[in-house]
Structures are given as structure tokens and as C-alpha cells.
Chain A
Amino acid sequence: MPNDAPEPAGALTYRDAVREALSVALREDPRVFLMGEDIGRYGGSYAVSKGLLATFGPERIRDTPLCESTFVGAGIGAALGGMRPIVEVMTVNFSLLALDQIVNNAATLSHMSGGQISVPLVIRLATGAGRQLGAQHSHSLEGWYAHIPGLRIAAPATLDDARFMLAAALALPDPVLLFEHLYLYNMEGTLTEGLERVDLEHAAVRRTGRDVSLISYGWSLHKCLSAAADLAKEGIEAEVLDLRTLRPLDDAAIMASVRHTRRALIVDEGWRSGSLAAEIATRIVEQAFYELDAPVARLCSAEVPIPYAKHLEDAALPSPQRIAAAVRALLAPSGGG
């Protein structure tokens, strides 16, 4: 797992924004501490926590052994014990070793105890493909986790969300999983001036348009924005909706956009079968079927373990070109059917 190359000096990256969010949380709440593999001395596999050990010390920036199940479970226990742990699971791929704790404990304890317990735990995970890391390092399983009642799932895709979603997650008494697509860490930009907080309830329209709704999140959001810019040159105005939270889904925002454009394309790096895209498509059909001018469309990853070779990996993932092509098909006289 390589460190990414350092960003140019002076630029604010998504990585910087997450790091700033962590610093602020540590400064403002003595109950907050970080725990995970190589987050301290190494500086974090994606360099997100770089420098925090020097500032906050080893009691609050805790390097763990390689034992995902136990350090996630210890995060649950520490949350039960009155702390506000932020656990970094290096990537979603390794979170499979912690599924027992996440699904059997974090998600169930509140309900199973009749509401006596809450688990105010935040888990941060890198997710996604695109770096030629092979099948075992390229999963996009956030949709899986969004299947589980008791968990809250969010995917910060902008610098603002990278900076402020963590505080929103820490303010909730429930377990929250924040999925950070590995392609986003180097993304540069600026924070919205005057912004102080974001919520973990609402989707956000990132580009307005009248012809089709592109519904996405995470890195795929940026592929949608890129496709929308290309489509605009052809006179096609795509609206781009950033889901932000994957559980709960903001049905109202999804339906509002679809009712406005009357066409929907869901773009999701997860596999198509049994996917988050399937869930969203179904909800659109349930709630807005008669307002559609075309069948709901989906663009997901090819149903293969993500391959190493670049041309194969590229072929497996949604791309701006394929998104634009799918939109053109939706808008074709046949209605995409």
C-alpha cells in the first residue's frame, strides 16, 4: 500500500481537509481519539493522519496491530465506555475482517438492548478502484454496508464534506462509516467560504440541469460532473445529484431531481447485482414511475473482480465517456428502452 505522492505546497487537498477535520475533532473533544493501522508513526497509509501523532501524542493517535476485528470492536467498546473513537480501517477491503464487529455488534447493540446502548463510533475507510491495485484492494462495498439497519453510511465527495462530515458523524450517537474514495485524496480545491457545518441527511445537487438526473456519490460523482460538462457542449443539460449519505438515502432529493428531469441514470462503482444502484432504481420506480419519460438506467462496474492491467481495469469501471453514452441512449427517441 504505497503512500501517495505529496501534493504541491499551498494547495488544499481532500486529504488536507480530512486531516483538518481530525485535528479539530481532537482539539475540541477530549473524548475523541484515533485508532488504526499505521496512522501514527507511518502517518497513515494515505497520509491523512500525517503529523497528528506529534501534535496529539500516542494515547490519542493509537497505532494498532493488524487486527481489524479487534480494533474495530475495541472502538465499539470504547464508544460504549464514554469515548468518541475514530477508527481508521485502512481500506474497505480489510474491513471484511471486521464484519463481525460492524454487523453483529455496532449495528445491533442499540436495538438489541432496547435502546439502552448507543454506539457513537466513526469508522473511516478508503474505498474504490482505479489505481491498478488488483481485486483484493479495489472493492467498492459501501453499498453492502448501506444494507445494514443500525449503521449510517456516508461518502464525502467534496472538500467541504471531507472537512465537515466528520464533525456531523461525531455528533450522532450512532455508528457512522465514512467512505473516502482513494482517488479523492489528491483532489485540490477550496472550502466554501463561511461554511461551518454540513449534515448527514441530505443529498446535494452539484450541477443543475433539465434533461437527465445523474445520481452518484464519491469519486463517481466527479465522473458524472465531467460527463455533464461534455454533454453540455452537445446541448444536453444533465443534473448531477451527490447522494452524500448512502444510508439513510435522501429519497426526497432523488425524487425531486427525477421529477424535474424525468430521466435518471444511477452511476455506482459497486457491482450492479444487488447493488445500491438497484435500490435507488427501485425507489424511483416505486415513487416516481409515472413521471418518468424513460426507464431508469444504471451504470455500474463490470461484474468481475477488478483486474490489475490498466486497460482491463478501465474497462471494468464507469467512465465519463460511458456515462455520457448512457445519457445519450436515455435521451434517444426510443427513450433508452
Chain B
Amino acid sequence: MTAPAAAALTQAHGLDLLREMMRIRAFEDRCYQLYGQMKIRGFLHLYNGEEAIAAGALSALRAEDAIVATYREHGHALARGIPMNKVMAELFGKQTGCSGGRGGSMHLFDVARKFYGGNAIVAGGLPIAVGLALAQRLRGEAALTACFFGDGAVAEGEFHESLNLAALWKLPVLFLCENNLYAMGTALDRAQAETDIRARAAAYRIDAAAVDAMDVLAVEAAVAHAAQAIRGGGGPAFLEMRTYRFRAHSMFDPQLYRDRAEVEAWQKKGPIITLTTRLKAQGLMSEADYQRLERECNTEVDSAVQFAERSPWEPVSDLERYVYAERRA
């Protein structure tokens, strides 16, 4: 399977994709500051540089498709349509957060939007995605389950078990490997005997393609193509999204494992710059348009921060709620 070429770009669609990436970037740049101000605590993993994957993939998927993501999932949550207010409030640990303040950055949930979490165990989400897809199949739904994970997950047993089971049972799972070249600080070639991740998927007879994930249009086209094949009953598909993380792994990472020059080289071909350059070159966006988008994103982030600041804390008296379900099955 090779990734199909991106379709001709309309102005409206191009600006939508750019806006989505820019609002994720603006949200997370603010998160970085808020972390320094101790408004956000715990672990905070930023998606900076990888935004094209969430923006492109979620654009190509349908609302009824289920999403399983990792602990680096702010972008996926926002692109899925979870209101920024609720995501920011969750990072603040507030009652109005999308997980009621019980999850935090790594555990964003919105079941109404079929967003089944940030999972903070590497590869821990893959079996759940297989099960969601099994339920979709058994219930006769046309939906699929998109499962995001990083290159680090490829080393885990659950990765191999899940690919095998999904392929064996021909389940509607779209495996989206966000290969940013480092599992925390361990480079891919220091962890994997076979560094071509597509080959791992192919070993389970799953169609696999690699995508330049600095190009949101390529991501969107590849996901749309794979989703179509899955909906046609072809079983799971696998996309290796070749990307790069511009910021540190988390807020506690001095980045001793990579060169500054490497980071800068990737930043020059970042997903926002790439699309901005293309839209301008094609005459689909002016500098004024770009600045307007930037203002809109910053305004949305400002109001999300205000919402989170103003929101109440969950009362401690409710600490033990939800350990067991409060409604009958």
C-alpha cells in the first residue's frame, strides 16, 4: 500500500486544517507557560511538531469512529472536538474538565465524542482499540476505531498481540504509529532490530504505508484512503506517521539524547510552516489571513484559561465517586 497523493486543496479546507494545527500549537505553548506557573502539574507531554497527525487524521475520520490515544493526546482531543475549555480545565484539575479533574493531561476522555482516552501505559491502548473494533463489528456498525501510539509501543508485546488479533479477526482498526524517532530518549535504532516499522505490520499481513507527517494533506489523504479500505471490510490498516517532537519528551527532559541541529532541521519543515508556505504560494492565504488565524487561536486559548481559572474544584467529599459505576449496566 502506498499513500495516495493529496487531492486538490480548497481555500476553506486548507485554512481549516491550518487553524486546527495552530490552535493545538497555541494551546500547548500556553500549557508550557502555565506549567512554569504551576497551574498545570503532573506530567505534561507536548505534541509540538506532530500536530499534522491529529489534525489530518481526525479531519479524515467520521464522528462515529472511536478514538484511542496516548498520554500525548491534547491534539487528538482538540481535533476530535472536545471543547478547549474542557481540556484546559482538565489540565488544571478542575471539576469542569473533560475527566472531572481525575485524569489530567494524560487521561482526557469524552465518551459522547467517542474519545476513549489518553492511555499512559505505552501500548496499553492497543488492546482496547481492538476490543472497540470487535464491538463495532459484532454490533454491525460501519464505524472504525483509530488507535494512536508512538514508535516506543512497537517494542511492547501488546503491540504485536494487538496487530495479530486485529488481522486474524479482520477488525476495523486503523493503527496510527506516530514515529517521532524517540521512545522518550531512546532512538528507534537503539531499540529496534528492524527500524522499518511498516515491516512489523506487514508481518501480520496488515497493509502498511509510511506518511510524511509534516504534511497535513498527506496525512489526511492517507487516513481517508486507509479508512475507506477498512470500511470496505478489508480488516485493519497501519500507517506509520513520520514526525518529530519539537519540544522535550516531558517537562523533565534536558534532551541529552539529541542534537540541537537535528531539532532545528526538523523545525524548519514543521507542519504549520509547511502548510502556511503552501497556502501562500498557491494564493489561498495572505499574511493578514494568517495573523487573523493566530489571533483567533490565542483568543480561544485565553478564554479557555479563564474558564479553567474560574472553574470550581471537585469537592473532596466526592473523592470516592466513580470508582464503581453509578448507573446500572
Contact = CB atoms under 8 A, between A and B. Distances in A.
A150 B136 CA distance: 25
Given A69-B158, A69-B161, A81-B139, A116 B327 contact: no
Given A65-B164, A65-B165, A65-B168, A78 B322 contact: no
Interface in A68-115: 69-85, 100-101, 104-105, 109-115
A116 B99 contact: yes
- Main secondary structure on B side of the interface with A: mixed
A81 B329 contact: no
A73 B158 contact: yes
A81 B144 CA distance: 11
A24 B109 CA distance: 34
A173 B109 contact: no
Interface in A39-84: 59, 62, 64-65, 67, 69-84
Interface stretch (B5-13, B113-121, B244-252, B292-300): B113-121
Interface string B77-108: 00000000000000000000111111100010
Interface string B298-329: 00000000000000000000000111111111
Given A65-B164, A114-B101, A74 B326 contact: no
B127 A115 contact: no
A110 B323 contact: yes
Contacts of B165: 64-65, 67, 70-71, 74
B141 to A, nearest CB: 9
Interface string B253-264: 000000000000
A313 to B, nearest CB: 31
B323 A118 contact: no
B138 interface: yes
B97 to A, nearest CB: 8
B55 interface: no
Given A82-B139, A104-B124, 12 more contacts: A33-B138, A70-B158, A71-B127, A73-B127, A77-B129, A110-B323, A111-B321, A113-B99, A116-B99, A116-B110, A172-B328, A173-B327
Interface of B: 66, 68, 97-103, 107, 109-111, 116-117, 119, 121, 124, 126-136, 138-139, 145, 157-158, 161-162, 164-165, 168-169, 321-329
25 contacts: A65-B161, A70-B130, A71-B127, A71-B165, A73-B158, A76-B127, A77-B68, A77-B134, A78-B132, A78-B134, A81-B131, A81-B139, A100-B124, A101-B124, A101-B127, A101-B128, A105-B119, A113-B100, A113-B322, A116-B109, A117-B111, A149-B323, A170-B329, A173-B327, A173-B328
Interface of A: 33, 59, 62, 64-65, 67, 69-85, 100-101, 104-105, 109-118, 120, 149-150, 152, 170-174
